[in-house]
Every structure is written in structure tokens, then in C-alpha cells.
Amino acid sequence: MIVLAVESSCDETSVSINKDGKVILSNIVLSQIDTHASFGGVVPEIASREHVKGISVVFEQALNQAGITAQDVDLVAVTKGPGLIGSLLVGINAAKAFAFAHNIPIVGVHHIAGHIYANQIESEMKFPLIALVVSGGHTELILMKEHYDFEKLGETQDDAVGEAYDKVARVLGLGYPGGPIIDKLAAEGEATYPMPHIKTEQLYDFSYSGLKSHVINMINRLRMKKEPINEKNLATSFQHAAVRHLIEKSRQAVDDYQAKMLIVAGGVAANKHLRSEVETHFKDVEVSVPPFKYCTDNAAMMGIAGYYYYQRFKKIDAMDMNGYSRLNLSE
């Protein structure tokens, strides 16, 4: 089965083609990151405009690189949410038009399911598994007992971990996006600044607003007193605390559900410190972190998720399919 997938939920225009939910024949990603960098974050209206400009070219490149024609495609999968609504609607309508023009069935897929299924590309899911989904918009723990079966165990009660990184980087004047910048800086520093131990009411929930405020207040205090700030050490201290919180909650969930596998998904999965901490703390279970290129938003992961969705439910969507800025993983 050949699946063509479309992803446009934020600032990446992407089309990918896979065979049988495994082999990635092509994965074209047109990133707008340079366009949005000068605004210090993604501007939704600009993102939507850029998606329209790039969408057909990305389709064409994906087919060409895969060495197939539209007639070879058996299923179209497209991100239906969550995400920026204007951006989602470009991808969804492009996917519907393509599917209709070639008489191909279409399925709408949840963006987070895509991030989780990025792990199926180079490894094999083993159930039950715990998925830690970490990105600029998400910090969630999800239990999977079989393919395309998601149970949300917990989530952030305030900021997503990626948001906290962005905010800290901005206050330090380091630029955007904050994740890779802080990760790089932190690799050269030491955890010398005291950080709070994060607590949440529910066992599997996360919270990042307290840590974020702590760091920002500390920076402001030091600046007021005109004391020097060791940016590298501050980055290390913040990153260690942020990652420790993720590790602790994941460890708890893996133990409680006797998971055979821990999956780390989402843009923050590219973080080097998180990767090494996961390796250190989960020697007893199989750990899967997708290759870097499948961590950030891309259509390859959506295509894999689309394949498994279709295998499990044998259900397709109609031409009135819509996009949703907010969407539950079970929908």
C-alpha cells in the first residue's frame, strides 16, 4: 500500500510517501523557520500564506523523489489537527483536492499520533508502551496497548516544555527557537544555579510555569544587582531541571504499566540532554527516539500514522472533512 501524507499544522509544508507504513520513499519538508525568525515566533497568517505558495511544489517533489505517479497512491493521509487553523486548512484542502482529482480515499490524522508513529519508521513498536510527547505545544504521557490505541495518562497543566525553552531563551536574548539554542549552550556549562523541584497534583501531569518563572525572576534579579550571568551554567541548570521532570514522570508511567517500550516523540525529542538522560534511566526497557529529521514536524510521520489508522479502523473520511485547532487524540 502506498500512502501519500500531507502535514501543514504549523510552519512546515510537508508531503511524504511511504510504502506499507514502513519504507519512506520521500519526505519533502519546506520549512518557514527563517521567515518567522525575525518575529520571534510563528506568525499564523504568514504561515498560512507560505503554505499556499509551497504546497503544490512540495507535492510534486514528493512524487518525483519517490519515483511514482499519483495513480500509484492508495491512500491520502492529512493532519486534521491540532495546530494553527489557517495552516491546517491549506493542507487539508490540498489533500482533499488531490484525493478527489485522482479518486483516492483520504483519512484525517491527529498530529500527535504522527509524532508518536515517527518511532515506527526505524524501530518496531512493542506494547504496552509509554510515549512521552514533547514539543513547543505539547507535554504529554500516553499509554498504547496496541496499534492506534491511545490513552492519555497526563499532560502539562500550564506551559509545554518547548514553550519554557523559548521563553527562557528570549529573556536571555538568545533568539528563537529556544530549544536547540539552550541545548547547545547547556552542553558547555555546569548546573550551578539552584532550581526548584517541580511538583504536580496528578501523578503523570507536568508543570513548567513554575520553573520558567523561577529562571526569569532569577535573571531579572541578577540584572538588577548588576551581577554577571553565566549563560552557559544557567542554560545547563534550567535544562537539567526541565529534563529531570520529564524523566521522573516517564519512569513512573513505565513502571506502573510495565511498559515494554518508551517512545520519545515531538520536536523536543531532538534535545541531546533528553536523549542521553533517557538512555541512562531506561536501561531495562527498549527506548525509541526517532531520528532527528522525524522529530520536528514532517509528513513522513503523518503517513505512518495514517497507514496504521487505516489498518485498524478501515475507515475513510469524506470530502467535508474539516481541520481543528484543538483535537483529542482519541478523535
Partner 1 sequence: MNKSLKRLVIDTATPYLYIALYEDNVLVDSIYQKGNNDHSVTLMDNIAKMFDKASWKIQDLAAVIVGIGPGSYTGVRIGVVVAKMFAWSHNIPVFKISTPALLASGADNGVIFAYVDARRNQAFGGVFEKTDETLVRLKADTYADLTTMLDSWTYDHPVNAVMPDLNVVLNSELLEAVDNVHDLSPVYLRKTEAERNQEQNK
8-state DSSP, 316: -
Cell 475513510, located at residue = 316
Total number of residues binding partner 1 (CB under 8 A)? Answer: 34
Query: CA-CA-CA-CA torsion for 49, 5, 108, 122, nearest 10 degrees?
Result: -120
Query: Residues 19, 102, 170, 293: which binds partner 1 (CB under 8 A)?
Result: 102
Contact between 76 and 4 under an 8 Å Cβ cutoff? The reply is yes
- Only segment of 58-66, 99-107, 162-170, 292-300 that touches Zn ion (CB under 5 A): 292-300
- Only segment of 12-20, 87-95, 203-211, 250-258 that touches partner 1 (CB under 8 A): 87-95
User: Which does residue 297 touch among partner 1, Zn ion, none (CB within 5 to 8 A, set by kind)?
Assistant: Zn ion
- Only segment of 56-64, 135-143, 204-212, 272-280 that touches Zn ion (CB under 5 A): 135-143
Restricted to residues 114-143, the positions that interact with partner 1 (CB under 8 A) are none
Residue 143 Rama label (left phi>0; alpha psi -120 to 50; beta): beta
Rule CB under 8 A: is residue 45 a binding residue for partner 1? yes
- B/e letters for 204-242, b = 16+ CB within 10 Å, e = fewer, are bbbbbebbbebbbebbeeeeeeeeeeebbbbbbbbbbbb
Rule CB under 8 A: is residue 78 a binding residue for partner 1? no
Nearer to partner 1, 34 or 320 (CB): 320
Which residue type, as a one-letter code, is found at position 269? A
Rule CB under 8 A: is residue 100 a binding residue for partner 1? yes
Rule CB under 8 A: is residue 9 a binding residue for partner 1? no
Contact between 227 and 186 under an 8 Å Cβ cutoff? The reply is no
Residues 6+ apart with CB under 8 A from 211: 164, 195, 196, 198, 238, 241, 242, 245
Q: What minimum distance in Å lies between the beta carbon of 246 and Zn ion?
A: 17
Residue 109 — φ and ψ, nearest 5°?
-125, 145
Rule CB under 5 A: is residue 205 a binding residue for Zn ion? no
Contact residues toward Zn ion (CB under 5 A) are: 135, 297
Contact residues toward partner 1 (CB under 8 A) are: 38-39, 43, 45-46, 48-49, 52-53, 55-57, 59-60, 70, 85-86, 89-90, 92-94, 96-98, 100-102, 318-323
